[in-house]
Amino acid sequence: MKTIGIYPGQFQPPHKGHYEAYKKLKQTAGADTFVATTDFDPTLEAALHFGDKEQIWSRHGVPGSHIRKVKNPLEPKEILDNYDPNTTVVIMAVNNETTMKLIDKSSYYKGIGFTGGKFLPFKNHIYILTVDDSKIGEKRFTSKNIREALGSHRYTKTQKEQWFKYFFGWFDLGLFELLKNKYANAHQSDSFQQDTIREQLSKEIRKVVSELSYDNTSSSTDIGDGSSLPTVDNMAKNNADARQQTQQQKQDLNKQKQELERNLKSQQSDLKWKNNSVMSLRKDDIPNTRDQIDAVNKQMSNTSINPPTSGT
pLDDT tens, residue by residue, 1-56: 999 999 999 999 999 999 999 999 999 999 999 999 999 888 888 999 999 999 99
Identify the CATH number of the domain in which residue 95 sits: 3.40.50.620
- Selected residue with higher pLDDT from 12 and 250: 12
Question: Are 48 and 153 members of one domain?
Answer: no
CA 278, CA 286: separation in Å to the nearest integer?
10
Q: Cis before residue 13, ω within 30 degrees of 0?
A: yes
Identify the pLDDT of residue 247. 75
Q: Are strands 135-136 and 139-140 parallel, antiparallel or unpaired?
A: antiparallel
Q: Which domain holds residue 213?
A: 143-250
pLDDT at 145: 92
The last residue of a domain, from among 230, 250, 270: 250
Out of 91, 107, 136, pick the residue that ends a domain.
136
Instruction: Answer yes or no: is 272 within a domain.
Output: no
In a domain, 278, yes or no: no
Position 199 scores a pLDDT of 57
List of long-range contacts for 150-153, beta carbons under 8 Å, 24+ apart: 150/179, 150/180, 150/183, 150/184, 151/180, 151/182, 151/183, 151/184, 151/185, 151/186, 151/187, 151/188, 152/184, 152/187, 152/206, 152/209, 152/210, 152/213, 153/184, 153/187, 153/188
Residue range 184-203: mean pLDDT, rounded: 55
Give domain status of residue 308, yes or no. no
Domain-embedded: residue 18: yes
Residues 213, 184: Cα–Cα separation, whole Å: 14
- Other C-beta atoms closer than 10 Å to the C-beta of 30 total 14
- pTM, two decimals, is 0.62
162 plus 54 within the same structural domain: no
Nearest 5°: CA angle at 222, between 23 and 236? Answer: 80
Residues paired with 67 in a beta bridge: 35
Co-location of 100 and 120 in the same domain: yes
State the Cα–Cα distance between residues 17 and 45, nearest whole angstrom. Answer: 19
CA 224 to chain centre: 27
Q: Among 78, 106, 136, where does a domain finish?
A: 136
Residue 175 lies in a domain: yes
Query: Is the model's pLDDT at 136 over the cut of 80?
Result: yes
Query: Which candidate, 230, 228, 238, places its Cα nearest to that of 208?
Result: 238
Residue 130 and residue 176 in one domain: no
Do residue 131 and residue 162 come from a single domain?
Answer: no
Total of domains in the chain:
2
Q: Are strands 109-111 and 126-130 parallel, antiparallel or unpaired?
A: parallel
pLDDT at 154: 85
Give yes or no: residues 132 and 150 share one domain: no
pLDDT score at 42: 85
Q: Determine, yes or no, domain membership for 231.
A: yes
CA dist 10 to 3, 54, 97, 256, 310, Å? 24, 12, 15, 44, 129
Q: What angle do the packed helices 143-151 and 173-189 form, to 10 degrees?
A: 90
- 213 vs 130, more confident: 130
- Which DSSP symbol is given to 219? T
Q: What is the DSSP letter of 66?
A: G
Regarding whether 132 and 147 lie in a shared domain, the answer is: no
pLDDT at residue 237 in the model: 59
